[in-house]
Structure 1
Amino acid sequence: MSNEMLWIILMIVNFTFILLSYKLFGKLGLLVWSGFAIILANIQVLKTVELFGIVSTLGNIIYGTSFLATDILSEKYGKKEASKAVWIGFFALISSTLIMWLCLKFIPHESDFINESLVDIFSIMPRITIGSLIAYLAGQLHDVWAYHYWKEKFSKDSQLWIRNNLSTMVSQLIDSLLFTFIAFYGLFEIDVFTQILITTYFMKWLVAAFDTPIVYLAKKIDKPIFK
């Protein structure tokens, strides 16, 4: 199966789970998802693949769902709840990075077989985390602000797609520029770095474009199964 097909399947799976999270647990499900998504995205982003003929990193889909979560919260519960999701994600990333950094300081037993893999994954995370934290806050706080700004301009239900895309796509551009330069500049050759920068935004842009129907579906969900 090609990377492109797997990418599409992965996007469908992510959208399915975020809708399921909201259907099962309501607002709480989206708040939990915000913390979960940012942690997993920072692990996935360490893997580079070829998508549509150019170099890309993984993590763009699940990271994009964090913007989807705040857009749903903004639409249904207001700016305060959407901002809470942003800060939950911020806290989750800082705490998980610190905890894993301390875990790596333990001297492994001679029977250990996983420590080197953990070091490979999490030793680079402080740089990834710094880039992600700065980009995440700048992008997400802009997204929450922009969503409500555009909601005042395009307040009808039929115009939901306009406020969703205008807020998310600009926010994703801010996020992609900040994160890519802080996290990856100097780690890759310039041509690979440029491809990662372009594909990082392009993939997030695609996720933002395809998540619009998910916002409409979420808007129709009234009561979670587990209150």
Structure 2
Amino acid sequence: MRSERRAKILRVSTPTFAQRTAGPYDLIVAAFVGLLLISNVAAVKLIQFGPDVEVLGFPVLPIITDGGFILFPLTYVIGDVLAEVYGLRGARRAIVMGFVMASIASLTFLLVGIAPAAADWPNQTAYDAILGFVPRIVVASLAAYFVGQFLNAWVLVWMKTRRRDGGLWARLLGSTLVGQAADTTIFCLVAFYGVLTGGSMLNYILVGFVYKVLVELLVMPITYRAVKFVKRREPTYADSAPVTDDVDV
């Protein structure tokens, strides 16, 4: 009787917690969303490299890009890992989470910007210049991200259903070409149409697209290892036995 009473007391006094999943999905999504938010803030600055150079009337230099070029391509690398390991449903969940958080960030910057500044705070102009709510930039960023990431995930998953685990290099390349083409074109046109015109706009689009594709090609060996690493540590992965796909790198 005493032991039963003691067991009952222990059950009542012991807190209950949910069990976290064993796989690394939550950490991957956190990195994905974090890189997206940082890139969106950095993208407000246009960056120019090189002097004015034209070839047959087409501006080859300067190279024009934005601050998002540093980290944003990595969101596609992580997006590839999510789509390859967790499928379209898992990738879609991360993409939607990123979209929601980016929208909340933009709304927060807007509300903070329009809130009355303290009398002795002299940095309102600087705040508005960097974090101010610029509708075209926000719409361009969200639309480009949403369409580009979904196309990237859809193409990769579609190609995988046709070849199963073989040909990862082809899936990564194919999804990158489609996703980055949509992402770069939508963002450049929506954000800077009228600001950049003619050859400068074409330069901006082409440079952004080529740069992002080259980055993914350069880090493809890392993407391979990341995919294999996650597959081995994700207990729910259907082929969690030793991963031997795509040895034909």
How many residues are treated as equivalent by the alignment? 199
Which of 1 and 2 has greater Rg?
Answer: 2
Runs of 4+ in 1 over 6 A off after TM superposition: none
Given the alignment, which residue of 211, 214, 221 partners 2:219? 211
Measured after TM superposition, the shift of residue 88 of structure 1 is 0.9
Write the distance in 1 (CA, Å) between the matches of 2:108 and 2:133: 14
Q: Which residue of 2 aligns with 1:44?
A: 42
Deviation readout 1:166-203 (Å, 9 max, x if unpaired): 01111100111111100111123544333222211111
Distance 1:170 1:61, change over 3 A: farther
Distance 1:186 1:124, change over 3 A: farther
The gaps in structure 2 that reach 5 residues or longer are: 1-22, 51-60, 235-249
Measured after TM superposition, the shift of residue 75 of structure 1 is 1.5
1:59 alignment partner, SS class:
helix
Q: Which residue of 2 aligns with 1:58?
A: 67
**Contact 1:60–1:204 (8 Å) recurs in 2:** yes
Q: Which residue of 2 aligns with 1:147?
A: 156
Q: Which residue of 1 aligns with 2:173?
A: 165
1:220 alignment partner, SS class:
helix
**Paired residues for 1:18-33 under 5 Å:** 26-33=24-31
**Contact 2:106–2:133 (8 Å) recurs in 1:** no
Write the distance in 2 (CA, Å) between the matches of 1:118 and 1:213: 40
Deviation readout 1:18-62 (Å, 9 max, x if unpaired): xxxxxxx82112211222222221221222223474222221242
**Paired residues for 1:89-128 under 5 Å:** 89-128=98-137
Write the distance in 1 (CA, Å) between the matches of 2:137 and 2:124: 20
Root-mean-square deviation (CA, aligned residues, Å) is 2.0
Write the distance in 1 (CA, Å) between the matches of 2:175 and 2:49: 26
Q: Could you tell which deviates more after superposition, 123-132 or 87-96?
A: 123-132
**Contact 2:110–2:133 (8 Å) recurs in 1:** no
1:49 alignment partner, SS class:
strand
Q: Which residue of 1 aligns with 2:90?
A: 81
Q: Which residue of 2 aligns with 1:181?
A: 189
Write the distance in 2 (CA, Å) between the matches of 1:74 and 1:55: 31
Write the distance in 2 (CA, Å) between the matches of 1:61 and 1:80: 28
Deviation readout 1:88-130 (Å, 9 max, x if unpaired): 1110111100011000012212321332211001225332110
**Contact 1:86–1:137 (8 Å) recurs in 2:** yes
The gaps in structure 1 that reach 5 residues or longer are: 1-24
Write the distance in 1 (CA, Å) between the matches of 2:203 and 2:133: 20
**Contact 1:42–1:125 (8 Å) recurs in 2:** no
Write the distance in 2 (CA, Å) between the matches of 1:125 and 1:42: 12
Superposition TM-score, scaled by structure 1 size: 0.80
Superposition TM-score, scaled by structure 2 size: 0.73
Q: Which residue of 2 aligns with 1:17?
A: none
Write the distance in 2 (CA, Å) between the matches of 1:154 and 1:207: 25
Write the distance in 2 (CA, Å) between the matches of 1:171 and 1:214: 19
Measured after TM superposition, the shift of residue 153 of structure 1 is 3.1
Higher helix share: 1
Larger RCO: 1 or 2 (CA < 8 Å, sep 6+): 1
Given the alignment, which residue of 201, 208, 233 partners 1:200? 208
**Contact 2:42–2:67 (8 Å) recurs in 1:** yes
